[in-house]
Amino acid sequence: MSSDASQHFMAPTIVWLRKDLRIFDNAALTAAAAKGAPVIPLYILSPDEEGKTASSCASSWWLASSLTSLANDLSGIGAPLVVREGETLSVLREIIHDTGAAAVFWNRHYEPLSIVKERNLKGALAAIGMDVQTFAGNLLYEPWQILSSKCEPYRIFGSFCKALMSLPEPDLPLEAVSRLTPVEHQPTSIPIDELNLAVDERVSKTLPEYWQVGESSARKKLSRFIDERLQGYSTDRDFPACVATSRLSPHLVFGEISARTVFHAVRNAGKNGGSSIVGGANEFLRQLCWREFAYNQLYHYPSIADSPLKSEFESFPWQCDEGMLASWKQGNTGYPLIDAAMRELLTTGWINNRMRMIVASFLVKDLLLSWQEGARWFSERLVDADMANNVLGWQWSAGCGFDCAKYTRIFNPVVQSAKFDPSGDYIRAWVPEVKRLDSKWIHKPWEAPNAVLREANIELGATYPLPLVDHKMARQRALHAFEIMRLAQQATSEKKLQEAGDIGER
Ligand code: FAD
């Protein structure tokens, strides 16, 4: 570099992007742009550093599509996205060396491995003289901002939600970054379609029919949800045949839209609308609070990623039955509602919250298969696979989280089916084998008279499975297993108390 050129050289800032693939309300990108120096938006694929959940196949498809969309948006404002694969620190060092970058900015993440990785990177980059700055950007509040009066994390959702709602409202979202200065010598970048993402071919064929990925789709979806569905949200959200919820979850997971943007848009709609909008808005914000609670729990109890929060569940006698697990995964359990949901999941990468709770209860309580198996399958098949929300949902369903469904609360798949899909339309959409049954029999074909089955072209055990288990028997079996676990826990606690007493007496 000539001395003249070096006088004008402004050292670039690298913005390391991960699950914050957006231009609006992106604190790290905004801060980098504000410096006036060139900006290098960088995405590094490093699955080895992010743990097994990173190799989810449906969400890998989403990631590739989302990066493509972000790359277009960033090119439009002047700084092309650089995409690399490999060990994060090595890639950062290489780009720093090649471009003379003096600063690295990023938005914070809270999965246990991300926390460790960020801490190590901060140290290593500061040691080579980098200006490292991190920002809040993925939650409404940082996980350490919501603690009880004893400065402890909340364990009960109701108290957590009350505490969150009593805080000053989250900061307003930042405007979109409108212009970025590019670096003079653009670092090399891997084409997104050459990234080593494990995308199953079946997934890449079906998912594009159901989803439009990217920030502008997320923003449009939020507006449409507020205009068309917020009013009926509280009453319709559990019914799988209705498109009643926002379906923003994958957009939130990849940070194509920020939680603050969603919060303020819905809060404002609630403030300005009639009473049914207010009800819908309050219920929706409560669900967004579950997301905050999930991150809060994961941050304060990182072991929940794969261990039960209630330790007695460590010894629960989960069964190991590959055949049953496969039937559940593929939607061949013989319970039409369960099968409809599992097939919708396979095809679209998404099911509503009620269906998630019902299929989870069926796996852990009717089949006695472990919640970790279920969580693994969900993280492979959901487009919105998210460690915090997924483990919270599974631990809640299995009864082993702090604030969760009591283990003894076991969903009856037939009752749930009649309640949340009363006409059977949802089942008909996903389980064509039983579509000719009317709403009296569609929830429990095994009880239908032979003439009804013949008329509907169903031969149970041949054209559609017989139920994998009898729910009444399975319920008793689950309660028995739970009781044994409870008694074992009680005996261990009594033994511990006795031992403590013995020591005291000595
Ligand atoms: P909406 O009803 O429109 O809610 C808006 C947003 O609030 C959602 O996008 C989501 O970010 C958040 N939210 C809503 N309900 C919940 C909830 N119960 N817990 C935490 N956050 C919530 N959600 C994921 O994003 N990723 C997962 O991997 C995931 N796994 C789950 C597993 C199980 C067993 C269960 C019971 C729930 C799981 N959830 C998960 C939570 C919830 O089912 C989904 O967030 C929701 O169905 C997404 O649809 P939506 O965007 O239309 O939700």
CA of 423 to the centre of ligand 1 (A): 25
Q: Is the pLDDT of residue 172 over 80?
A: yes
Q: Across residues 292-298, what is the average pLDDT?
A: 97
CA of 54 to the centre of ligand 1 (A): 18
Q: Across residues 471-492, what is the average pLDDT?
A: 90
Q: Is the pLDDT of residue 500 over 80?
A: no
Q: Across residues 264-277, what is the average pLDDT?
A: 90
Please choose, from the candidates 145, 165, 146, the residue with its C-alpha nearest in 3D space to the C-alpha of residue 286.
165
108 CB less than 6 Å from ligand 1?
Answer: no
Cα separation of 89 and 44, whole Å?
A: 10
pLDDT at position 1 is: 43
Cα separation of 399 and 363, whole Å?
A: 13
Higher pLDDT, 505 or 341: 341
CA of 253 to the centre of ligand 1 (A): 10
pLDDT at position 472 is: 97
Q: Residue 382 CA: which ligand 1 atom is closest? A: 28
Q: What is the residue with the minimal CA distance to atom 46 of ligand 1?
A: 353
CA of 454 to the centre of ligand 1 (A): 40
Name the residue type at position 408: T
R_g (Cα) of the chain, nearest Å: 25
Q: Across residues 289-312, what is the average pLDDT?
A: 93
358 CB less than 6 Å from ligand 1?
Answer: no
What distances in angstroms separate CA 291 from CA 26, 139, 284, 471, one per listed residue? 19, 8, 11, 31
Q: Residue 360 CA: which ligand 1 atom is closest? A: 34
Beta-carbon contacts of 41 under 8 Å, excluding residues fewer than 6 positions away, are 15, 17, 29, 70, 74, 79, 80, 81, 82, 180
Cα separation of 442 and 436, whole Å?
A: 8
pLDDT at position 503 is: 62
352 CB less than 6 Å from ligand 1?
Answer: yes
CA 66 to chain CA centroid, Å, is 16
CA of 389 to the centre of ligand 1 (A): 7
pLDDT at position 489 is: 82
**pLDDT band at residue 24, thresholds of 50, 70 and 90?**
very high
CA of 233 to the centre of ligand 1 (A): 14
**pLDDT band at residue 273, thresholds of 50, 70 and 90?**
confident
234 CB less than 6 Å from ligand 1?
Answer: no
CA of 110 to the centre of ligand 1 (A): 17
**pLDDT band at residue 2, thresholds of 50, 70 and 90?**
very low
Lowest mean pLDDT among 287-291, 314-318, 337-341, 424-428: 314-318
Question: Tens of pLDDT along 53-74?
Answer: 445 689 999 999 999 999 999 9
Both structure tokens of 360: 């989870």
What distances in angstroms separate CA 199 from CA 162, 202, 341, 383, 493, one per listed residue? 41, 9, 22, 12, 47
Q: Residue 352 CA: which ligand 1 atom is closest? A: 47
Q: Residue 253 CA: which ligand 1 atom is closest? A: 25
DSSP letter at 319 equals: B
231-236 contacts at long range (C-beta below 8 A, 24 or more positions apart): 231/273, 231/276, 231/277, 231/280, 232/276, 232/280, 233/280, 233/281, 233/283, 233/284, 234/279, 234/280, 234/282, 234/283
Please choose, from the candidates 134, 137, 153, the residue with its C-alpha nearest in 3D space to the C-alpha of residue 145.
153
pLDDT at position 54 is: 45
Q: Is the pLDDT of residue 420 over 80?
A: yes
Cα separation of 356 and 324, whole Å?
A: 18
Question: Tens of pLDDT along 123-138?
Answer: 999 999 999 999 999 9
């990177």: which residue's tokens?
121
354 CB less than 6 Å from ligand 1?
Answer: no
CA of 354 to the centre of ligand 1 (A): 10
Beta-carbon contacts of 28 under 8 Å, excluding residues fewer than 6 positions away, are 15, 16, 17, 20, 105, 106, 107, 133, 134, 135, 137
pTM of the model: 0.95
Q: Across residues 141-150, what is the average pLDDT?
A: 95
Name the residue type at position 403: D
Beta-carbon contacts of 12 under 8 Å, excluding residues fewer than 6 positions away, are 37, 38, 39, 40, 99, 100, 101, 102, 103, 183
260 CB less than 6 Å from ligand 1?
Answer: no
- The per-residue pLDDT of the chain, averaged, comes to 93
238 CB less than 6 Å from ligand 1?
Answer: no
Q: Is the pLDDT of residue 101 over 90?
A: yes
What distances in angstroms separate CA 373 from CA 248, 281, 289, 359, one per listed residue? 25, 34, 26, 12
Q: Residue 394 CA: which ligand 1 atom is closest? A: 34
Q: Across residues 298-321, what is the average pLDDT?
A: 91
393 CB less than 6 Å from ligand 1?
Answer: yes
What distances in angstroms separate CA 224 from CA 229, 258, 400, 411, 498, one per listed residue? 8, 17, 37, 33, 62
Beta-carbon contacts of 485 under 8 Å, excluding residues fewer than 6 positions away, are 312, 313, 315, 316, 317
Q: Is the pLDDT of residue 49 over 90?
A: no
Q: Is the pLDDT of residue 213 over 80?
A: yes
CA of 470 to the centre of ligand 1 (A): 29
Q: Is the pLDDT of residue 170 over 50?
A: yes
């319709």: which residue's tokens?
236
CA of 385 to the centre of ligand 1 (A): 10
Pocket test for ligand 1, best of 251, 286, 291 (most atoms within 8 A of CB): 291
Backbone angles phi, psi at 133, to 5 degrees: -130, 135
CA of 403 to the centre of ligand 1 (A): 16
Please choose, from the candidates 412, 57, 9, 366, the residue with its C-alpha nearest in 3D space to the C-alpha of residue 201.
57
Cα separation of 339 and 231, whole Å?
A: 30
Please choose, from the candidates 236, 217, 205, 244, the residue with its C-alpha nearest in 3D space to the C-alpha of residue 346.
205
Beta-carbon contacts of 10 under 8 Å, excluding residues fewer than 6 positions away, are 36, 37, 38
Cα separation of 492 and 474, whole Å?
A: 27
264 CB less than 6 Å from ligand 1?
Answer: no
246 CB less than 6 Å from ligand 1?
Answer: yes
What distances in angstroms separate CA 204 from CA 52, 156, 199, 256, one per listed residue? 20, 39, 7, 20
CA of 308 to the centre of ligand 1 (A): 20
pLDDT at position 55 is: 53
